[in-house]
Amino acid sequence: MRERAYKYRFYPTTEQADLLAQTFGCIRVVYNSILKWRTDAYYNNGESTNYNSASAKLTELKKQDEFNWLNDVSCVPLQQSIRNQQTAFTNFFKGRTKYPNVKKKRSNQSAEFTKSAFKYKDRKVYIAKCKAPLNIKWSREILSAPTTITISKDCAGRWFVSMLCRFEPKSLPVVNKTVGIDLGLTDIAITSDGFKSGNPRHTAKYAAKLKKAQKHLSKKKKGSANFHKAKLVVAKIQAKIGDSRRDFTHKLTTKLINENQVISCESLSVKNMVKNKKLSKAISDANWDEFVRQLAYKADWYGRTLVKINKWYPSSKRCNCCGHVVDSLPLHIRHWTCPACESKLDRDTNAAINIKGAGQALLACGVKVRPKQPLCC
């Protein structure tokens, strides 16, 4: 069994919007108070805290008169926020992320409801302390009753409900095709068989519009009604960019998974690359990390194999015909001729072919389980 989330827009009634806004507020207070308590415990007394002690702290908080109103909303999302904070701390201590941040009122808000706090019946979702079902815009069917739902409101004022469902993935029919993928900016994905995905550059497309809206915003008095109105316009453009980018990445990864049995690509560390200021905008816009993440889980669901190649492998500088590696190959050189065998090479396709070869070598050496079908070359 696997889990996947289905995200839908919904339109809350006034009563639901009020209750949810109140829930978000409580989550923020709980999250921030407990974060402060944990920070103090660590820095002042050198004490480490864990989920159980944080959870006990929440119970204590709810008993205090001044926090009595925390009892007006479902306790489940509050508890879940502490659970998520614990995950954030675990990630921090493992060096994967920065120290957990306080939750702010004007950023995206979300509340997680586990099974005891919502009901799902006949395509209707009811949340605790609210009689009417959510008015959901069902854009697709869900595969099973959800185990957890997350309600969120983004900066553009849109409400979403994301439902986590268990399902048994069905492998796609086996295809006799292996491909290597090079990730780039002119084209987001270039495959060893010559396919070039193009790059819609959503950020650049909306840059002028966004700049105008941001300029408009900068002239407003911070905190005024007009300021928030102008801020919403900016958030809506940013949401549009995010949506288009996500949509493009999904279509591309689905296509690649459908057409290929084995896919090799480079493992990336976009976090480090984005430090290059000039390229950072273009790289975030290309969404490489998300691209690789989608390939990985889709490969897992549909019975495909994804092989990640060490990012230090000289995929660009190596000639795929004879294996000669040149000393340097500046980024602006798109076509080159191998000095050893004189093959004429397209920079990106050559890299993709090398990545494919490296992936096959990795598979053959048994680093990952071999697929049942023989590999095609």
Q: Which of 321, 326, 329, 362 binds Zn ion (CB under 5 A)?
A: 321
- 93, burial (CB in 10 Å: exposed 0-12, middle 13-18, buried 19+): exposed
| Stretch of 24-32, 172-180, 250-258, 324-332 lying at the interface with Zn ion (CB under 5 A) | 324-332
Give the interface segment with Zn ion, choosing from 18-26, 80-88, 305-313, 332-340 (CB under 5 A): 332-340
Give, in degrees to the nearest 5, the angle at Cα 259 between 253 and 260: 90
Structure tokens given for 186? 């002119």
Helices 51-63, 14-45: crossing angle, 10 deg rounding:
120
Which range touches Zn ion (CB under 5 A), out of 78-86, 122-130, 246-254, 338-346?
Answer: 338-346
Three-state DSSP class for 50? Answer: coil
Select 270 or 326, whichever has its Cβ closest to Zn ion: 326
* End-to-end Cα spacing for the chain: 32
Q: How far apart are CA 91 and CA 6, in angstroms?
A: 25
**Residue 111: Cβ within 10 Å count:** 23
Binding of residue 353 to Zn ion (CB under 5 A)? no
The least CB distance from residue 285 to Zn ion, in Å, is 34
Q: Which residues contact 118 (CB under 8 A, 6 or more apart)?
A: 125, 126, 127, 128, 146, 149
Nearer to Zn ion (CB atom), residue 197 or residue 354: 354
Residue 161 sits at φ, ψ, to 5 deg, of -120, 125
Please confirm, yes or no, whether 182 is among the known catalytic residues: yes
Q: Does 338 bind Zn ion (CB under 5 A)?
A: yes
DSSP 316-377: TTB-TTT--B-S---TT--EEE-TTT--EEEHHHHHHHHHHHHHHHHHHTTSSPPPSSPPP-
Q: How far is the CB of 358 from Zn ion (least distance, A)?
A: 16
Q: Which is nearer to Zn ion, 18 or 342 (CB)?
A: 342
Q: Of 182, 187, 289, 290, which is the active-site residue?
A: 182
How many chain residues touch Zn ion (CB under 5 A)? 8
Which residue lies nearer to Zn ion by CB, 21 or 322?
322
Q: Determine if 325 is a binding residue for Zn ion (CB under 5 A).
A: no
Q: Residue 23 in contact with residue 70, Cβ under 8 Å?
A: no
In the list 21, 132, 204, 340, the residue contacting Zn ion (rule: CB under 5 A) is: 340
Shortest distance (Å) from residue 49 CB to Zn ion: 59
Q: Which residues 6+ apart lie within 8 Å of 243 measured at CB?
A: none
Residue with smaller CB distance to Zn ion, 54 or 358: 358
Q: Does 322 bind Zn ion (CB under 5 A)?
A: yes
| Active site annotation includes 266 | yes
Of 41-49, 274-282, 319-327, 364-372: span binding Zn ion (CB under 5 A): 319-327
Asked whether position 319 contacts Zn ion by CB under 5 A, the answer is yes
Interacting span for Zn ion (CB under 5 A) from 103-111, 127-135, 290-298, 339-347: 339-347
Q: Tell me the per-residue interface mask from 261 to 300 with Zn ion, x by CB under 5 A, - otherwise.
A: ----------------------------------------
* CA distance readout (Å), 110 to 24, 124, 207, 363: 7, 20, 28, 41
Q: Is 348 a catalytic residue?
A: yes
Q: Report helix, strand or coil for 267.
A: coil
Residue number, 76 or 338, with CB nearest to Zn ion = 338
Give the residues lining the site for Zn ion (CB under 5 A).
319, 321-322, 324, 338, 340-341, 343
Active site residues: 182, 266, 348
